[in-house]
Amino acid sequence: MEGSSPTRRRRKAVAEEENQIASSTDIPKETDIVPSKRPRNNDPALARRAISLLRSRLCGHSQPLLLPEAQENERKIFELLSETIRNASNNSILLLGPRGCGKSLVLNKVMVEIQHEYPERLSVIRLSGLLHTDDYSALREIAKQLCVEHQLVFSKAASFDDNSQFLTTMLRECALSHKSVVFILDDFDLFAQMSKQKLLYNLLNIMQSREAQALVIGVSCRLDADQLLEKRVRSRFSHRKILFNPPSADDLQKLLPQLLSLPVDSSTIDTNYAEAFNASIQDMFKSKDVKNILLSITKVDLSPRHMLNFLFLVVCAMDWKYGFLSLSNFKQACVALRRQTKLESMRDASVLELYLLVSMKRLEGKERETYNFITVFKEYKSLHDSHSTCDLYPQEVCQRAFENLLDRQLIMIADGRRSSIGIEFCPVKLLVSSYEIEEGLKSSPVCPAILLQWFAHEEFK
């Protein structure tokens, strides 16, 4: 989205921004809290092992820790699955909740436990609404997964009719062999948006007959996913829903020290180091600054995934030589997570581009709803005519700058597509607000003072 800025300018910009954010938000500008009593760690290898352990935990590779509400949901799903397998019944359920609240995580955990408890009684088919965009490919994928699981030969050339016949037959055979088939549909709302909802109807319809033993689990982030179903499909769907709420900020904060503490009796991590690390973590989370940082993070997004992303960045920023986490790590992660992309774009823009932006703003101020490059150029020229400056460039150069702005998505073409009449005649719209332009102008190192004046003068606050 932004232009190609060189790395050196990037680093300088980041440093500047850090100061700016530190000044504008409530992160205090203090130095690191390093109590002198903690020993210095001289061995970077220990730190590296610790970092890799923490990173794998935060990415979700190892056994996840769950919040109490998520554990409750996990128990419910587990009971439903056991009931389906033991009593050979058919069920369908939807898992709903905002993104990042643990639906897939809990579901995967439950599947592992169930496979452990009832070996050979379960056959799992996974589909995704993003990958399988229509009924035919979804059904083919179901056939393929069934064939792979039961070690049958799969043919890619089978038609929709063949595959649906195969599905019915396989479900019947599995029911006779006391095997339950679990269909996990990720992004369930996308399946419901397919035309005629054939796949959903067929799956739920098969479950109405005695010959099948199946469970359909839909996972969706849309809370109204079951309203998307057609009436026929809705009638066949048992309206069981499990809600995954975002946790409260307190619950989340209680979980954090556990996430970052190292195991004391592990073989790969030195015990002394682990204990020292855990102690530093405890101190860290008690300090006011870190609490403020965490508060600013949770104000934006309460989902656990966001918090895990944040902690991941913190851990990645840890200095090996030092060996422990410090406040600067937290600040760095905070900055990396909350980037102001439009401000950065404007800061990197050239003078001409800034002129064009200001001209567009003035046009908007004059109640001109639609404008294209020609009118913008006219406004730009009139600016220079009234106050002669050295910044007047010919139309071709301005057009080039205009196209640059389009690429950076600071402006966009109004009806969304480039028609054949030429870029200078297409109506455009400005995507940055006046407040943002002002901020951008102020922070830009190349902005001429006169431009700021024009902008401020014409703006009626």
Partner 1 sequence: MEASGVHAGACLPQALPASASPKKRSWGSDALAGESVPDVTPSPLKTCRRSPRTPDIAHPPRLRPRKLGFDDVPDNSTIQELQEKAEQGQLSPGAAQKGTEKTPKKLPLPKKKELNARTSNLSNKNGIRTLNPVKTPRKTFLDYVVVDRIKFQTGDDVYIRRTEEDVDEEAEGCLVCGKSGKLVECDNCSRGVHLKCTDPPLKKVPKGEWLCSLCVAVAKSQSGKSRVNVPNDTLKTARELLLASKLWAARIERIWREADGMLWFQGRWYVIPEETAVGRQPHNLRRELFRTNHLDNNEVASILRKCNVMGPTEFRNSGRDGDDVFLCEYAYDPQFETFKRISDDDENGQASSDEPEDSQTEIEEDHESDSDSHDDNKRSSQKLLGSSKKSSPPTRAANVRGGHLSKVGAKVIPATARRKPATAFERAKAALRLTATPESLPCREREMGEISAFVTDAVVAGNGTLGHCLYISGVPGTGKTATVMEVMQKLKKSYEEKNLQPYRFVEINGLRLTYPEHLYTVLHEALTGHHVGWKKALQLLDERFSNPKPSRRVDARPCILFIDELDLLVTRNQSVLYNVFDWPTRPHSWLFVIGIANTIDLPERLLPRIASRMGLQRVSFSPYSHEQLQRIISTRLEAIDAFESQAVEFASRKVAAVSGDARRALELCRRAVEIAEARCANDPKPGSGKSKGCRVKAKSNDKGNLAGMKDVEEAIKEMFQAPHIKIMGRCTKLAKIFLVSMVYEQHKSGMMETTFEKVAAIFTYLCQNNNESPVDWDTLLSIGCSLGACRLILCEAGCRHRIQKLQLNFPTDDVSFALKEDPEVPWIGKYL
Of 102, 218, 246, 304, the one binding partner 1 (CB under 8 A) is: 246
Cβ-based nearer residue to partner 1, 394 or 460: 460
Q: Is 29 in the site for partner 1 (CB under 8 A)?
A: no
Instruction: Please name the residue that has the structure tokens 């004391």.
Output: 264
Query: 8-16 long-range CB contacts below 8 Å, 24 or more apart?
Result: 9/348, 13/344, 13/347, 14/335
Residues 202/164, Cβ–Cβ less than 8 Å: yes
DSSP summary character for residue 269: S
Contacting range for partner 1; rule: CB under 8 A; set: 51-59, 149-157, 264-272, 283-291: 149-157
Contacting range for partner 1; rule: CB under 8 A; set: 28-36, 50-58, 59-67, 300-308: 300-308
Residues 430/334, Cβ–Cβ less than 8 Å: no
Identify which of 317, 312, 319 has the alpha carbon closest to the alpha carbon of residue 331: 317
C-alpha angle 72-77-82 in degrees, rounded to nearest 5: 125
Question: Cβ 431 to partner 1, closest distance in Å?
Answer: 4
**In terms of DSSP H, where are the helices of 214-326?**
231-236, 249-260, 271-286, 288-300, 304-316
Q: Is 417 in the site for partner 1 (CB under 8 A)?
A: no
Contacting range for partner 1; rule: CB under 8 A; set: 38-46, 162-170, 281-289, 310-318: 162-170
The span from the CA of 341 to the CA of 459, in Å, is 24
Question: Cβ 312 to partner 1, closest distance in Å?
Answer: 18
Cβ-based nearer residue to partner 1, 100 or 323: 100
The span from the CA of 102 to the CA of 219, in Å, is 11
Residues 97/244, Cβ–Cβ less than 8 Å: yes
> What contacts 374, CB < 8 A, 6 or more positions away?
424, 425
CA-to-CA dists, residue 220 to 112, 214, 224, 247, angstroms: 21, 20, 9, 18
Cβ-based nearer residue to partner 1, 31 or 87: 87
Please list every residue from 48 through 107 that binds partner 1, using CB under 8 A: 79, 83, 86-90, 96-99
Identify which of 6, 23, 31, 27 has the alpha carbon closest to the alpha carbon of residue 443: 23
Question: Cβ 309 to partner 1, closest distance in Å?
Answer: 13
Contacting range for partner 1; rule: CB under 8 A; set: 38-46, 144-152, 271-279, 443-451: 144-152
Please list every residue from 200 through 239 that binds partner 1, using CB under 8 A: 201-202, 205, 207-211, 221-224, 231-232, 234-236, 238-239
Q: Is 117 in the site for partner 1 (CB under 8 A)?
A: no
The span from the CA of 26 to the CA of 29, in Å, is 9
Question: Cβ 143 to partner 1, closest distance in Å?
Answer: 4
Instruction: Please name the residue that has the structure tokens 């469970």.
Output: 215
Q: Is 413 in the site for partner 1 (CB under 8 A)?
A: no
Q: Is 160 in the site for partner 1 (CB under 8 A)?
A: yes
Contacting range for partner 1; rule: CB under 8 A; set: 43-51, 167-175, 311-319, 384-392: 167-175
Q: Is 25 in the site for partner 1 (CB under 8 A)?
A: yes
Q: Is 284 in the site for partner 1 (CB under 8 A)?
A: no
Cβ-based nearer residue to partner 1, 200 or 325: 200
Contacting range for partner 1; rule: CB under 8 A; set: 265-273, 419-427, 428-436, 443-451: 428-436
Q: Is 240 in the site for partner 1 (CB under 8 A)?
A: yes
Q: Is 172 in the site for partner 1 (CB under 8 A)?
A: yes
Q: Is 305 in the site for partner 1 (CB under 8 A)?
A: no
Of 271, 341, 382, 419, the one binding partner 1 (CB under 8 A) is: 341
For residue 431 the two structure tokens come to 């995507």
DSSP three-state, residue 285: helix
Of 113, 162, 424, 458, the one binding partner 1 (CB under 8 A) is: 162
CA-to-CA dists, residue 67 to 49, 70, 324, angstroms: 27, 5, 26
Site string for partner 1, 342-381 (x = CB under 8 A): xx--------------------------------------
Of 169, 268, 271, 389, the one binding partner 1 (CB under 8 A) is: 169
Identify which of 313, 296, 209 has the alpha carbon closest to the alpha carbon of residue 260: 313
Question: Cβ 160 to partner 1, closest distance in Å?
Answer: 4
> What contacts 389, CB < 8 A, 6 or more positions away?
448, 450
Find the distance separating the first CA and the last CA of the chain, reported in whole Å. Answer: 29
Of 391, 409, 424, 458, the one binding partner 1 (CB under 8 A) is: 409
Q: Is 255 in the site for partner 1 (CB under 8 A)?
A: no
Please list every residue from 433 through 452 that binds partner 1, using CB under 8 A: 433, 435-436
Q: Is 334 in the site for partner 1 (CB under 8 A)?
A: no
Cβ-based nearer residue to partner 1, 25 or 52: 25
Query: 154-163 long-range CB contacts below 8 Å, 24 or more apart?
Result: 160/135, 160/136, 163/139
Of 51, 147, 316, 423, the one binding partner 1 (CB under 8 A) is: 147
